Amino acid sequence: MSEELNNEQPIEEPVQNVEPEVPATEPVQEELPPDMTQPQVIVQRERGFAHYVGFALLCVLCICFFFMPGIAITYGVSRLVTLNGAAAWIFSAILSVIAWVIFKLKIKGFKKSFYFYIGLCVVVLALLILIEVVTEANVFANIIALLCGAA
C-alpha cells in the first residue's frame, strides 16, 4: 500500500532559478536614467609661474588693445601738453569709452557695434605701426613711457 501512495502522489522537486550566464568578456553596464551620467575623472596639471605671467601679459595687452583709439589720441595730445601716467590712462579710457558709445548708438546691436569697434582698434594699431615704420619715431616706446608715467 505504501507503494500505491508513493505512485499516486507526485514527487515534488525543488525549483531552482536558473539565470543566464553572462560571458566574462563583456562588462556589465548598469542602465542609468537618461538625465544621469557616469562620473568623470578630470586630471588637471599644475600650472607654473610662466602660465600666470603669460596670462597677466595677455590681459594687459587686451586692455591696451581695447583702449587703442583713446591711447592714440592721448599720445597725440601728449605731444602738445605734458601728461602724467594716471592722467594718460584716464584720458585714454574716457576717449575709448566715448568712441565705443558712439559706435553703439550709431550701429544697432551690441555684437555688431563691438565688431566695428574692434575693427577701429585694428585700424588704429595699423596706423601706429605705419607711423612707427615710416617716421622711425619710437611711437610704441613713447606710448609705453607715457602710460607708465615716465614721459
The boundaries of the domain holding residue 81 are: 64-148
Q: How many domains does the chain have?
A: 1
Q: Report d(CA 95, CA 101) in Å as an integer.
A: 10
pLDDT at 4 over 60: no
Residue 36 lies in a domain: no
pLDDT score at 127: 92
Other Cβ atoms within 10 Å of 85 Cβ, number: 14
pTM of the predicted structure, to 2 decimals: 0.58
The set of cell numbers assigned to 72 is 592714440
**Which residues lie below 8 Å from residue 124, measured CB to CB, with a gap of 6+?**
68, 69, 72
Residue 134 lies in a domain: yes
Q: Report d(CA 149, CA 86) in Å as an integer.
A: 7
Indicate the range of 9-13, 42-46, 97-101 predicted with least confidence.
9-13
pLDDT tens-place string over residues 29-71: 556 566 666 777 777 788 888 888 999 888 888 887 888 888 8
Residue 119 lies in a domain: yes
Range with the largest mean pLDDT of 34-38, 87-91, 104-108: 87-91
Residue 46 lies in a domain: no
